Amino acid sequence: MALVSLPTCPTIIGKGWRYNAPTQVNRSEWTSHRKVTELPAAPRWMAEVASFDLTTDEQFWAWNRFFGAMKGRGNSFQLVAVRKLQITGITVRANGGGQVGYSLVTDGWGAAGLKAGQFITVNDQLMRLMADVNPSGGAATLTFDRWLRAPVADNTVVEVSLPYALVSLAQDDSSIIDNSTPWNADGDWTVPGFAVEEAF
């Protein structure tokens, strides 16, 4: 699976971020009590990219090339998950190697942290914070609602400013740009919105 670069114009972000959290549920026919088994490594992010206009032939060619390079659901790209910078002026890193599970020990924070519900990205995995990040001496332990899928090496950079997810197209149909649609009166070409899902 290859990583495909997004065209630089226009800048797009994902919206409507959500993920399926698969569980196995067994219910007793005698008591109707249920036993639920969580699958913490299985959740997968999904999102949509809103439709957008292209104003030049060069933009059209770049996006047409992008969708061709995606090869349906075969390849992936990095899609930003937030509307604006969450925090600036710091470089957060993992403090200690081999970390897995629901938390990550980090350093490199300034005086400010992040709030529960905000995102970070580590090892190309988009993670949702489940507790406020209140750094002490530049260090903080991050807690998540899902597992880190792969061990995090010491000093791995944690993206806290513009977190992203590694995603693929949600369908194999490569006719994302509707070539039957004429340029509108303003000279724009509309790219219909499309769905994506986390790729790992």
What CATH number does residue 117 fall under? Answer: 2.40.30.290
Model pTM score: 0.86
pLDDT tens for each residue of the chain, 200 residues long: 899 999 988 889 999 999 887 777 888 788 888 887 777 667 889 999 988 888 888 888 898 899 999 999 999 999 999 999 999 999 999 999 999 999 999 999 999 999 999 999 999 999 999 999 999 999 999 999 999 999 999 999 999 999 999 999 998 875 555 555 544 545 567 788 889 999 98
Residue listed under structure tokens 């399926």: 20
> Would residue 35 count as lying in a domain?
no
Give the C-alpha separation, 80 to 45, whole Å: 12
> Would residue 149 count as lying in a domain?
yes
Within 73-158, residue ranges assigned H as helices are none
> Would residue 87 count as lying in a domain?
no
- Report pLDDT for 75: 96
> Would residue 69 count as lying in a domain?
yes
> Would residue 104 count as lying in a domain?
yes
- Report pLDDT for 185: 47
The whole domain housing 135 covers 92-162
Q: Identify whether the C-beta of residue 36 lies closer than 8 Å to the C-beta of residue 45.
A: no
Determine the longest span between alpha carbons in the chain, in angstroms. 67
> Would residue 2 count as lying in a domain?
yes
Q: Are residues 72 and 170 in the same domain?
A: yes
Provide the number of structural domains found in the chain.
2
> Would residue 30 count as lying in a domain?
no
Q: Are residues 8 and 65 in the same domain?
A: yes
Q: Identify whether the C-beta of residue 148 lies closer than 8 Å to the C-beta of residue 101.
A: yes
Q: Is 40 left (phi over 0), alpha (psi -120 to 50) or beta?
A: alpha
Q: Is 187 left (phi over 0), alpha (psi -120 to 50) or beta?
A: left
